[in-house]
A and B are shown apart, each in its own frame.
Chain A
Amino acid sequence: MATQAADTGDGTGRPHRLPLEGELTIDRAAGLERRLAEAPAGPLSLDLAGVTRIDTVGAWLVHRLLRDRPGSRVEGASAGVTRLLAEVAAADRPCSIRPDPRPAWLREIEKAGEAVIGAVNTMGAGLGFVGTMLLVTLRTALSGRGIRWHAVSQQMEATGINALGIVGLMSFLIGIVIAQQGAVQLEQFGAQVFTINLIGRATFRELGILLTAIMVAGRSASAFAAQIGTMKLNEEIDAMRTIGLDPVEVLVVPRVIALTVILPLLGFYASILAVIGGGLLCWTSLDIPPATYVQRIREVVPMSDFWIGMAKAPFFGAVIALTGCFQGMQVAGTAESVGARTTIAVVQSIFLVIVLDAFFAVFFTAIGFV
């Protein structure tokens, strides 16, 4: 062991002698601290002659003892140890470790207040963001340089082409599920043939677009928030501003345009694949041949269903892109904030898509477009 207590004090006020030997290093710090704490009360005289190795943690423990027990002193310290003790003594300054702790009740009230203020501010900032985006889009479209179509096409590839596989598979399976469940229920009325109506109307009008939007929100809103958020952390956004680039023009506008264009296309593609999936099930389980199936789909799905679906999709795309980019721009300070904002981007964009969808449902009914 590094230390060994030898109490030679005689109770007459002379310091107790405490020889410390061996290594006074960070690896032995826990033991050394206990040793020093267990030493008899009152001033100590530390004999450091037997110390073979010491580092700043060892020196700190010695310094702390000298500081906390007035009258204590060290003996037999080499020049190096003395210098190290002086070094840590000079560094003994008050230092705050954590942001000041507050009482729990105050923290809770503060948290609630911050949440409310945060929500109001975010709403205002979000509206401002949409306005800025529209203004910048108009300005760039009218100015000589124009929209950055190269960036737009890149984003269309990342959010559209690269999503074809997963969106297609998802829609195909959803088509099978709708057909399967519909067939089981409608069979009870002997109305199995209406399974085709169910598939056709559900996918083109609602599910094809909505599920695609939710998938794209998960894929692309998160990607936008993380990309822009990381750039914000790295001061890349600030660098753009100083170079004279408008981050909204360079980063946000291309993403919003890309998703606004891509979502109707992806949604149509998804609807078609859902119809194919449903058709496959009708063929295998209900013995409806493909030719009949297609014929029936053309008869029962009104064009209005298709147009309603296509009319909603660009709005969904724009909302998803705006939410993702906006949350990316809200990132500040820490890597955690990138994660938090990415999560918020996905949750909010899915929520907003569903709210918009409900709004459109009421709207189209109100104007008699069914």
Chain B
Amino acid sequence: MGEAPVISVRGLVNRFGTQVVHEGLDLDVLPGEILGVVGGSGSGKSVLLRSIIGLQHPAAGTIRVFGEEVTSPECDLLALSRRWGVLFQAGALFSGLTVAENVQVPLREHLALPEPLMDEIAAYKIAMVGLPGEAGAKYPAELSGGMRKRAALARALAMDPALLFLDEPTAGLDPVGAAAFDQLVLTLRNTMGLTLFLITHDLDTLMTICDRVAVIAEKRVLAVGSVAELTRLDHPWVRDYFLGPRGRAAAGAQAARIAAGERAVPAAAGGSAAPAQAGGA
């Protein structure tokens, strides 16, 4: 773990009026890892994400992404935004554009590619996230909630970012779709060396694909570690989260998968399997 972190948050403080959401929050995300972020509803996960990508100006603290200080006024957020993709909790697709056009928005903004290539890129991205071909020409209002999530992921992946932020990507997906989503994220990480900041409530996702999990509670990052390490932690909320009935069920399913010979958390796969380097450009 000698490499410099892709994201580094120090002493983050966020307030809304008198409500303090974060107080002295520290967090590192390492290159090529999938970091799961968990916490109760309203614990400030989405606000943390918004702070990291520069949409929310924190009251105090420093945030560095790819070594650049997001919180400083000189930071060129537009240039940085080329290198990351964001999947918002509600999808946030542009309602006036078709799915394919949505995927092409970042391409058009940042690159000058020939039109046919742009269409091909949109087409394979849409296929990659598991949408049927007809979905490309549809408008967001004509899609189901789960399809909208996938379309939003396709847009987040449009620029082949080195860093991907996902806010509850599998919420609202059917279990089969959610599992396929997990596998897709894993493949992308393993082939492209993607770094992922993944907010999720899906215990299966946490156990199958996350290298480390950060628990947000009491206005800070309470603990970071593998799921196994966290379950040994003596904190009531963490215990309830991972060792409650759902946590145990997910852990049981995961143990069965490992027993069946399927690859589970491929810890070091990101670096070795791919010639690509996260944050290299």
Chain A interfacial positions (CB closer than 8 Å to B): 23, 25-27, 29-30, 33, 51-57, 60, 64, 78-81, 83-84, 87-88, 90-100, 233, 332-336
Contact = CB atoms under 8 A, between A and B. Distances in A.
B191 A83 contact: yes
Given A29-B117, A93-B133, A98 B100 contact: yes
Interface stretch (B16-24, B36-44, B122-130, B242-250): B122-130
Interface stretch (B135-143, B202-210, B226-234, B260-268): B135-143
Nearest to A23: B281
B117 A33 contact: yes
A56 B162 CA distance: 12
Scoring B100, B114, B123, B190 by chain A CB atoms within 10 A of each residue's CB, the highest score goes to: B123
Contacts of A333: 95, 139, 141-142
Given A51-B275, A92-B127, 12 more contacts: A53-B280, A55-B276, A56-B125, A60-B124, A87-B187, A88-B124, A92-B124, A93-B124, A96-B133, A98-B137, A333-B95, A335-B96
Contacts of A88: 124, 128
A336 to B, nearest CB: 5
A263 B135 CA distance: 48
Nearest to A78: B275
Contact of B137 (A60, A64, A83, A96): A96
B114 A27 contact: no
Given A30-B111, A92-B124, A93-B123, A80 B275 contact: yes
A39 B276 CA distance: 26
A83 B134 CA distance: 26
A117 to B, nearest CB: 21
13 contacts: A30-B114, A33-B114, A54-B276, A55-B160, A56-B128, A57-B121, A80-B191, A84-B192, A93-B133, A95-B136, A96-B136, A98-B98, A333-B95
B80 interface: no
A78 B100 CA distance: 31
Nearest to B122: A97
Contacts of A335: 94-96
Contacts of B69: none
B180 interface: no
Nearest to A92: B124
Contacts of B136: 95-97
B158 to A, nearest CB: 9
Contacts of A336: 95-96
B277 interface: yes
Contacts of B159: 26
Contacts of A78: 275
B168 interface: no
A164 B281 CA distance: 59
Contacts of A57: 121, 160
Interface in B67-112: 94-96, 98, 100-101, 111-112
A329 to B, nearest CB: 16
Contact of A97 (B94, B95, B100, B157): B100
Contacts of A25: 160, 281
Q: Is chain B's binding surface mostly helix, strand, loop or mixed?
A: helix
B31 to A, nearest CB: 14
B274 interface: yes
B126 to A, nearest CB: 5
A27 B134 contact: no
A29 B158 CA distance: 13
B137 A100 contact: yes
B274 A80 contact: yes
A27 B281 contact: yes
Nearest to A30: B113
Contact of A52 (B117, B121, B192, B275): B275
A334 B137 contact: no
A243 to B, nearest CB: 20
A368 to B, nearest CB: 54
Given A30-B114, A79-B273, A83-B191, A334 B160 contact: no
B88 to A, nearest CB: 15
A93 B125 CA distance: 10
B28 interface: no
A87 B273 contact: no
A53 B160 contact: no
Contacts of A54: 275-276
A87 B128 contact: yes
Given A30-B111, A80-B275, A334-B96, A96 B120 contact: no
Ordered nearest first, which 5 A-B pairs have the shortest CB separation? A95-B123, A80-B274, A55-B160, A91-B127, A333-B141
A94 B137 CA distance: 12
B119 interface: yes
A13 B87 CA distance: 48
Interface in B184-228: 187, 190-192
Contacts of B135: 95
A205 to B, nearest CB: 45
B279 to A, nearest CB: 11
Contacts of B111: 26-27, 29-30
Contacts of A60: 120-121, 124
B137 A97 contact: yes
A78 B160 CA distance: 19
Contacts of B121: 57, 60
Contacts of B277: 53
Given A60-B124, A96-B134, A335-B96, A55 B192 contact: yes
Contact of B95 (A23, A29, A30, A334): A334
